[in-house]
Structure 1
Amino acid sequence: MIIDNFNLDKEIPLWSLDADGKAITRQFAFVDFKQAFEFMTLAAQYAEEIDHHPDWSNSWNKVKVSLTTHSAGTLTKLDIQLAKAMDAFASQVNQV
């Protein structure tokens, strides 16, 4: 479902809308590679569960993420759902 009347700052304040408004992005930073990989593992397992996968890259302790629904050509509720889950996973990993 495509998003209508979405408030990025309220729903997922740590994410940014890209220039064309069709994707959201965030860079996560962790203490080390192990934590970054743990975050990616949790996110990957959840992405498989909801059948919605991020575009991402990892460089040591950083993970850059871009979310969009390619089949819709824009943001959908799945992107917001995954972004919220990724925020929770990042908090969980950083608290270890």
Structure 2
Amino acid sequence: MSDTILTQPPQARADFDHVSDAMLYDIARHTASVLSAILLTCKNTAADDAERDHWAARRRLVKQQVRALDADDRAGLIAQDEVWRLEKLALTGTE
């Protein structure tokens, strides 16, 4: 069993000062993947076709945003990751 120690409050913005650009890219893609799974769940549990279409369109947009990520744009990677993180938080209430 792991003895995880939180080094920051759960909703605090991550400090990426000592994270490489390559790792930032991986972090952003991971956040997008987690959000995409949440959006798929929303789509699959939607009450009607209109709601299903909404979640499917949102998931497609996230996939387009992932394809548009620029691995050399550090500020862009951080900003996009933060947007996806906040959307995940809004949808699930958890980090």
Question: Counting helix residues as a fraction of each chain, which structure ranks higher?
Answer: 2
Who wins on radius of gyration, i.e. which is larger?
2
Query: Shorter-chain-normalised TM-score: which range?
Result: 0.3 to 0.5
Q: TM-score, normalised by structure 2?
A: 0.40
Q: TM-score, normalised by structure 1?
A: 0.39
Question: Counting strand residues as a fraction of each chain, which structure ranks higher?
Answer: 1
